[in-house]
Amino acid sequence: MSLPQILGQFPTVRLRRTRRYEWSRNLVSETALSPKDLIWSVFVREESISPEITSMPRIKRYSVQELVKEAHKAHDLGIGLLALFPVIENKRKSEDAKECLNDQGLIPTTVRALKQALPNLGIMTDVALDAYTSHGHDGLVTNGEILNDETVKLLAKHAIVHAKAGADVISPSDMMDGRVGVIRQALDSENFEHIQIMSYAAKYASVFYGPFRDALGSQSCLGKSHKKSYQLDPANANEALREVAQDIAEGADMVMVKPGLPYLDIVARVKDTFKVPTFAFQVSGEYAMLDLAAKAGWLDFNQGLMETLISFKRAGADGIITYGAVEAAQFIQKEPIKK
């Protein structure tokens, strides 16, 4: 039996009836979006670094004090979790990424300040080396080779530094093999068994990270090098499912697909296959395109932001990491999207 036969046919069936009025559209809306679905992705900077980001003019790098102030606003809007990304001076970057183990470094200092000001606000920290390496890679490098096992050992120590500072969620974004299991074991051995892991389980080697690397200053370090030997090939879907399965088996509490919009099919397949908490990252390039298109007068920024965020939820994401979390939460309060 065909779908028209099951549903009935025009003119008896008029699907536009329920679209006629706002109250009716709200009643039959299939997907809901609220501030609690949003994770605010933020850059925290050392005082000497400029707050401005050329490729993301709506976004700024916050000092620790500035971020504490802005975090109060986000929390009041109903946003429950912040994702922190450090912007440190080049002089503190090195081949061995030793700054990532500094318990008085930028991220541990920021976590402590946020937890003191807002104890009930969740804090997620990025565990990867690209913000700390002079070569811009997420792992240790020898003779041009990204060292997997040596990197994983360092990442576990990196995670412990964040845990001791008060982080609630550790989020390894490096895409090294086996890192979730090693980090989980390290956390548990230090009595941090309550700390959650949200793994960048399906992170693709994408062009859409450009503004993020600009914000971190890692693109100048990376130069003409690339991350294709450890991040996923954009052509591959089944491989992404294998990566997700491995991270779940190693102890990931939540998994992430990154980027978001170009990989909605992966979000849907991950959620349908594993039925675990699944998140999408609306990355810097996705956000910047909306901003620049709005500035050119080609679309309304708020409407474009909301439509893309709804698409993540519709695909099956439980939540979205986005630079536009505060803007979206403000818009939702003014024009609520109801289920």
Residue ranges of the annotated binding site for Mg(2+) are 243
Query: Which entry of 93, 227, 258, 271 is annotated as an active-site residue?
Result: 258
228 is known as an active-site residue: no
224 is known as an active-site residue: no
Here the tokens at position 293 are: 């298109």
* Residues 278, 316 contacting (CB under 8 angstroms): yes
Query: Which entry of 93, 115, 157, 203 is annotated as an active-site residue?
Result: 203
Which residue, among 154, 165, 155, 159, has the nearest Cα to 196 in the 3D structure? 159
Alpha-carbon distance of 112 to 71, in angstroms, equals 13
Show which residues are catalytic.
203, 258
